[in-house]
Structure 1
Amino acid sequence: MKNSANENVALAAEDVLNIIHNKAGSVVSEAYQELWNPEVQAKIDEAIDRNRKADATFILEDVPSGTEVSVEQLDHEFRFGAHIFNFNQLGSDACNERYKDLYGSFFNSATIPFYWRTLEPDEAEPRFEGRFEDSAEFWNTVTDPKRQPHWRRPAPDPIVEFCEQKKIHLHGHTLVWGNEIWHNPLWMREKLPARFRRMVELVDGNMPIKAPLFDDLSIEQLERMMPEFTLELHKQMARRIYEIGLRYKGRLSSWDIVNESSTDFREGKMVPGAGLCKSWYGLMPGDYAFRAFKLAESIFPESLLLNINDYNMDEHYLAQVKSLLSRGCKVDAIGAQMHLFDPEVCRAIAMGESRKQCPAQVYEELNRLSEAGLPLHLSEITITSPDSSEYGQMVQAIIARNLYRLWFSLPMMSAISWWNVVDDCGAPGEPSYSGLFFRDMTPKASFHALNDLIHNEWKTKLELSALDDGSVRFRGFPGRYQVKWTDADGSERSAEFVLKSSAHA
């Protein structure tokens, strides 16, 4: 297989599947194939059948034994999602429509951006409904979209309405995050006392709420020196959670309540009862993860899933989740990120020179998180093509297919969400070739590989015969089904039913 970086080499679905099933050795090394050997694959297949399927019985009235019945799965209970951060931003109506068509057809879940800094660029003036710069008309004329402040940060109301029309799972990301570049608003930093504002460092023109002076002061000293700011941090965090919670009450199905906080937990920075947290990000409300969950629980309906989300997969993240649960927090799911941002790492994985995300590592990390007894959500997935050539695409496709199969097989897994769907649409510093589609929305090999899994291999379609009691029985993937048959009068009949799993919905 050619290993050249030719631009946008489009591969047909049948060619991709032929390479995966018959010619994988032309793409990945023997060392990689040995890590994913037939014994490992058989173990995954057995676990998928055991953990992801359920037994179904559907009763048909007044149907003679032996009547032919067609059973077809229409959609999945399991959530196969992606973020929808490039809504109306792809530069042409044609690309925008192809992008939107994926949600409700290929993806049944969408992660919607609620980053504080761009949602509320001016205090008390959130851009929920959207402005001209959120319209396709605006983005279709932009020549350098990445330089726009709202790139990958569309207004949420139009997306929520779109997803409701498509009847797909809506997942909000994120309510609380300490990140001073991507999340917390600039106007919050201006609330620091003037003497402290003059001391903070400038980073890329931004003013994070951290300074060398803060390292030498205790939490108690800082609280005494800036009581108004301490109160303001708590007030603003609570206002944001209540404002969003009331606006979208009963509309979104799940939220990332707190993002990437396990480092502060590991370092003992979130002290119960403290007014401030000397987070590694900067100053945050004291014990902010605990307080965010309690605030969210008080405003969101009981049915809504409250998630925690992080990239750390170590024992400290597990300990943080257990700690929050022991303190009475309603934590419904654990978000786990997996970003292979470096294209050379993906090439090294394919060559067997790196064991990152090999089966042993995946089992170790995710089985450890499963000890909390909560559903897992692979919340942010990045798998990068080494380049856009046929070879580069197939590396991404083979790695993605193997990982999706393993993740899907795990009993506590409830959702998997790809991050950047389209090439060259990531945040600054993220790779150009991590999408499932080229920038012009031409599908890449990885799309064909995952589409075959999600909408072929993992969708149940059967031709059965009714039993003596008029029932049809089968084992299939949970989701919504349509049953068709011909009754005794020769009339074609159909009905729908939902097959639920015994695991987590």
Structure 2
Amino acid sequence: MDISHRQFNKNIRLKDKAGNPVADQEIRLVQTNHSFLFGCGAFDFIPYVMKGEEEYKDLTDKWLDVFNFGTLPFYWGNFEPKEGEPQTDVLMKTAGFLKEKNVTIKGHPLCWHTVCADWLMKYDNGTILKKQLERIDREVTGFKGVIDMWDVINEVVIMPIFDKYDNAITRICKEKGRVALIKEVFEKAHECNPEATLLLNDFNTSINYEILIDGCLNAGVPISAIGIQSHQHQGYWGKEKLEEVLERFSFFGLPIHFTENTLISGDIMPAHIVDLNDWQVDEWPSTPEGEERQAKEIEEMYRTLFSHPLVEAITTWDFRDGAWLNAPSGFVRKDNSLKPSYLMLRDLIKKEWHTDITVKTDSEGRIRVQGFKGEYSITANGQKTFADLTDNEDQTIVI
């Protein structure tokens, strides 16, 4: 698979602080972060940051050893269970901790019909929409500079016809229509943070999602990236389906994020289950053969997605087994021990897709280097500096 688009190949000229070339010196370049977003649900950081629970220190340390991109929960019904009392402090402290660790953070989601705030139901549709837009303003403005990426609205293909229970967001989506509601919430989010990365996110990868995206773009909705969920509790999609989905959604020319990926290491969920949430089990064990299968499937999936030029991010949904649906869906087991999938992915990111090179400058302080795009520490003659190396343009660095 061609991954040359993930690398830079460029001339760099090094100068000292006086402007003189750093001539005939050995230079070490060590990648400290990827431009590509290797992500995972970061919900486990909340109990660690807020309560210092010891079991979560080991868990979060292992998380940070692999990932540079985390998703935090902003489900309205949990974030603001009582109107006017949002859990802003909890999410701000957690996001601040992750940001200090050089982790890019995404908030998920700003608008969704599931886990919605029950107290919205007492209002008429006009007021519900007003409060939804106010909620977006509060979160996007309030977290600006800490969280600058959002799943703006979630699972809209099914939103107006969702009938498992009544909720405020389905009501307004049914009244306004999908595209009109998407346009309102995206425009508000963009107004509050014009530099933010704003995603439309859905599990439905059928032509219905393509039609929805097309309608949104024709209506001028400022979508930054297409979010594709890939919860595979009922079996791995396989390389052929992955490539088929990528081909169809590449039509729009927008960046693609695989926002919620799940591959399990136990028995596969029965195929007749339509809504994954309907599969409720007391025990869903991970097995040795399942763990080997999971590692192989995740490796193929990551290699396939990493090789596609429009894919910018992959987020695994559960870091530890048992998080959602009690599934063996994590990179670590319930006792925090590492699964083969964790070791495999860490090797991909930290070894195979990682750059650590030593080169010697010429008499003008120049070097020609190739490596994976990202952030680097650059050391010469005991001096160190840091630089972003993300393109093929010639670059001058002062050290």
- Superposed pair shares fold, TM > 0.5: yes
TM-score class, shorter-chain normalisation, is: 0.7 to 0.9
1:249 aligns with 2:144: yes
Q: Contact 1:88–1:96 (CA<8 Å) still a contact in 2?
A: no
Amino acid at match of 2:36: F
Q: Supply the distance in 2 between the matched residues of 1:290 and 1:410 (Cα, whole angstroms).
A: 28
Q: CA deviation at 1:264?
A: 5.1
Per the alignment, residue 384 of structure 1 pairs with: 264
SS in 1 for 2:252: coil
Alignment counterpart, residue 172 of structure 2, candidates 275, 280, 284? 284
For residues 448 and 326 of structure 1, do their structure 2 counterparts lie closer, same or farther at Cα, with a shift above 3 Å needed?
same
Provide, for residues 147-183 of structure 1, a one-character-per-residue CA deviation record: whole Å limited to 9, x for no partner: xxxxxxxx4122122122222211010001122xxx2
SS in 2 for 1:284: helix
Q: Supply the distance in 1 between the matched residues of 2:76 and 2:167 (Cα, whole angstroms).
A: 18
Provide, for residues 458-498 of structure 1, a one-character-per-residue CA deviation record: whole Å limited to 9, x for no partner: 11112223235321212211111122233xxxxx3333221
State the percentage of identical aligned residues.
27
Provide, for residues 437-469 of structure 1, a one-character-per-residue CA deviation record: whole Å limited to 9, x for no partner: 112211111100000001111111122232353
SS in 2 for 1:240: helix
Give the count of matched residue pairs: 359
Alignment counterpart, residue 500 of structure 1, candidates 370, 390, 399? 390
Amino acid at match of 2:367: V
Q: Supply the distance in 2 between the matched residues of 1:332 and 1:188 (Cα, whole angstroms).
A: 29
For residues 484 and 282 of structure 1, do their structure 2 counterparts lie closer, same or farther at Cα, with a shift above 3 Å needed?
closer
Q: Contact 2:120–2:168 (CA<8 Å) still a contact in 1?
A: no
For residues 400 and 445 of structure 1, do their structure 2 counterparts lie closer, same or farther at Cα, with a shift above 3 Å needed?
same
SS in 2 for 1:374: coil
1:328 aligns with 2:220: yes
Q: Contact 1:377–1:414 (CA<8 Å) still a contact in 2?
A: yes
Q: Supply the distance in 1 between the matched residues of 2:105 and 2:202 (Cα, whole angstroms).
A: 19
In structure 2, list runs of 5 or more residues that go unmatched: 16-20, 267-284, 393-399
Per the alignment, residue 275 of structure 2 pairs with: none
Q: Contact 1:383–1:434 (CA<8 Å) still a contact in 2?
A: yes
Per the alignment, residue 6 of structure 1 pairs with: none
Provide, for residues 61-107 of structure 1, a one-character-per-residue CA deviation record: whole Å limited to 9, x for no partner: 44444x43322111111111111122354898332112232454321
Alignment of 1:119-134 (within 5 A): 119-129=79-89
For residues 318 and 324 of structure 1, do their structure 2 counterparts lie closer, same or farther at Cα, with a shift above 3 Å needed?
same
Q: Contact 2:321–2:328 (CA<8 Å) still a contact in 1?
A: yes
Provide, for residues 325-356 of structure 1, a one-character-per-residue CA deviation record: whole Å limited to 9, x for no partner: 221211101111111114xx3xxxxxxxxxx5
1:397 aligns with 2:295: yes
Amino acid at match of 1:284: I
Q: Contact 1:264–1:279 (CA<8 Å) still a contact in 2?
A: no
Provide, for residues 253-285 of structure 1, a one-character-per-residue CA deviation record: whole Å limited to 9, x for no partner: 2000010112358x8x9xxxxxxxx99984224
TM-score by length of 1: 0.67
Per the alignment, residue 39 of structure 2 pairs with: 81
In structure 1, list runs of 5 or more residues that go unmatched: 1-43, 130-154, 192-228, 270-277, 346-355, 487-491
SS in 2 for 1:176: coil
**C-alpha root-mean-square deviation of aligned residues, in Å?**
2.4
Amino acid at match of 1:125: E
The higher radius of gyration belongs to 1
1:237 aligns with 2:132: yes
SS in 1 for 2:386: strand
1:460 aligns with 2:337: no
For residues 469 and 238 of structure 1, do their structure 2 counterparts lie closer, same or farther at Cα, with a shift above 3 Å needed?
same
Per the alignment, residue 30 of structure 1 pairs with: none
SS in 2 for 1:369: helix
Per the alignment, residue 274 of structure 2 pairs with: none
Q: Supply the distance in 2 between the matched residues of 1:332 and 1:501 (Cα, whole angstroms).
A: 21
Q: Contact 1:241–1:296 (CA<8 Å) still a contact in 2?
A: yes
SS in 2 for 1:178: coil
